[in-house]
Structure 1
Amino acid sequence: MKSLPYLLLVFVAFLVGGQTAAAHAIWLESAPNAGKGQSHEIRVYYGEYATAELEKTTDWYSDLRSLKLFVIKPDQTQMELSLEDKDDHFIASFTPEEDGTYLVYTTHPTKDLGGKTRYEFTSQLAVQVGKSAGAAQSKLAYQLAVDTKVFKKGDKVAIRLTKEGQGLAGQDVLLMSESGWSKTYKTDAQGIATVDVLWAGKYVAEFGHSEEATGTWHGAPYSATWQGITTSFYVK
């Protein structure tokens, strides 16, 4: 069953008509480990992962295709990555120069509102280089994270949901596989959703949240905000 934020977005998309902001997400894909001094590729997609819908970049909702992609290094410096358009996704790369955990992320509030709601699409993933414990610190309030490894079929994977570094309990996290399977899990008291991975392939996890907020965005008033955040991992 799809999560409540997912169903809400489907309804909003129907109301605004034409554009597919709802039921869609941005997600990043990358190998979880990289070698120092070696180019490492990141791919950026937009669509509906569970049903294998990849939107061409020219059809991305509102001004979403103008998003920016960043990498935070273990020394906490940040670098913007250049994006190359590959028709149905973007690719970027960076060359790590030190061991540690790198954090790649994008977050983009779209120019157009959905009714009276302001949308923000966010995705992040971590890349481990070597065995150093030095780690990049996220600049995002909400974080959705998994360990930097390739998991095995039958593993239990811990997906951590936090806000300002604190675990968020009792929240729905949607897990989707490339086979079309999806399931919603609830986070525990520490903000961890423990999920079972039964098939090999790529998985995308998503958390969406809405908040009452008022303001003006590109000249239009809004009364609520919605943010969707994703991360991804591999199972062999």
Structure 2
Amino acid sequence: MKSNTFKKLSFAVLTLLFSASSFAHALWIETKATGTKGKPQAIDIYFGEFSEKDIEKTAKWFSDINHFSLILITPSKKEIKLTATALENKYQAFFTPDEDGVYTVAMHHTVKDVYGTMKLDYNSSATVTVANDLKGNEASINPNIISLFSKEVKTAKKDTKIMINTLYEGKIAKQQKMKVIAPNGWEKELWSSENGEISFTPIWSGNYMVEFAYTEKTAGEHNGKKYDEVWKMATYLITVK
């Protein structure tokens, strides 16, 4: 009897650990910070653990995460829906810039299945600058409910401070916890200021991931299943030269 009880407890603990690990997965966009008029720009969407370089194969993505919406907002604020194609370990979409300025790519998806007691809401964004024109380089252009933004993403350099704006429901997200993940997996937690800003100085070159997760203590029902809270996450990739 004791042996069976121990086995059941062990299985429950392992299940909890596995669930926590899976839940930590992020959905993010990778693209070059600069683009060229008339030349196709690739937009890649990944799901996994950025810090561990653990990328999930698209065939194993949780629930209906692959049904995300992907919107392009042009410098003149025109919205264009992008269609992504499944590859082995990512989804990929393209757009061809036809004007100078800053293009915003916004990804959003509310997951169909409730995870434990949580409804999951994924958000990610990226900006592409064409011809050094800063038209459209505004945080408010991103339509996602939770987002991150940096005017310096195009010129991000090692040993130079990078400022990041955080938004929630269109307003500054002050005194909220963020996470910055370096190319080698090193992580640092930061709290946004009264102005909804965080900053960090990269000491390595490569891709940095900024994450902003917020849990809303709201109960309800989603696709026939009850939930006790809504977990919302924004990701933002910065390439440091």
Pairwise CA distance, 1:15: 3.9
Pairwise CA distance, 1:14: 4.6
Unaligned runs of 5+ in 1: 1-12
Task: Report which of the two has the higher share of helix.
Answer: 2
**Who is 1:162 aligned against?**
167
- Superposed, which structure 2 residues align to 1:154-233 within 5 Å? 154-233=159-238
**Who is 2:3 aligned against?**
none
- Counterpart secondary structure, 2:184: coil
TM-score between both structures, scaled by the size of structure 2: 0.86
- CA distance in 2 between counterparts of 1:44 and 1:35 reads 21
Pairwise CA distance, 1:161: 0.4
Pairwise CA distance, 1:21: 4.2
Pairwise CA distance, 1:194: 0.8
User: Could you tell me whether the CA contact under 8 Å between 2:166 and 2:192 is conserved in 1?
Assistant: yes
User: Could you tell me whether the CA contact under 8 Å between 2:119 and 2:227 is conserved in 1?
Assistant: yes
Pairwise CA distance, 1:18: 6.1
- Counterpart secondary structure, 1:154: coil
- Counterpart secondary structure, 2:59: helix
- CA distance in 2 between counterparts of 1:76 and 1:225 reads 30
The CA deviation string for residues 58-108 of structure 1, in whole angstroms up to 9 with x for no partner, is 111111122222111122221121212221111111001111211101111
**Who is 2:30 aligned against?**
29
- Counterpart secondary structure, 1:149: helix
Q: 1:108 to 1:158 in 2, by over 3 A?
A: same
**Who is 1:60 aligned against?**
61
The one-letter amino acid of 2:43's match is: I
Pairwise CA distance, 1:17: 5.6
Greater Rg by CA: 2
**Who is 2:9 aligned against?**
none
Pairwise CA distance, 1:178: 2.4
The one-letter amino acid of 1:73's match is: T
- Counterpart secondary structure, 1:51: coil
User: Could you tell me whether the CA contact under 8 Å between 1:174 and 1:182 is conserved in 2?
Assistant: yes
The one-letter amino acid of 1:125's match is: A
Pairwise CA distance, 1:152: 1.7
The one-letter amino acid of 1:34's match is: G
Q: 1:210 to 1:97 in 2, by over 3 A?
A: same
Task: Kindly indicate whether residue 140 of structure 2 is the aligned counterpart of residue 139 of structure 1.
Answer: no
Q: 1:85 to 1:155 in 2, by over 3 A?
A: same
**Who is 1:3 aligned against?**
none
- CA distance in 1 between counterparts of 2:18 and 2:189 reads 27
Percentage identity across aligned positions?
29
- Counterpart secondary structure, 1:134: coil
- CA distance in 2 between counterparts of 1:18 and 1:230 reads 21
- Counterpart secondary structure, 2:114: coil
Pairwise CA distance, 1:215: 2.2
RMSD: 2.0
Unaligned runs of 5+ in 2: 1-13
**Larger RCO (CA within 8 A; separation ≥ 6):** 1
User: Could you tell me whether the CA contact under 8 Å between 2:68 and 2:109 is conserved in 1?
Assistant: yes
TM-score between both structures, scaled by the size of structure 1: 0.88
**Who is 1:76 aligned against?**
77
Stretches of 4+ moved more than 6 A in 1?
A: none
- Counterpart secondary structure, 1:180: coil
The one-letter amino acid of 2:167's match is: T
**Who is 1:8 aligned against?**
none
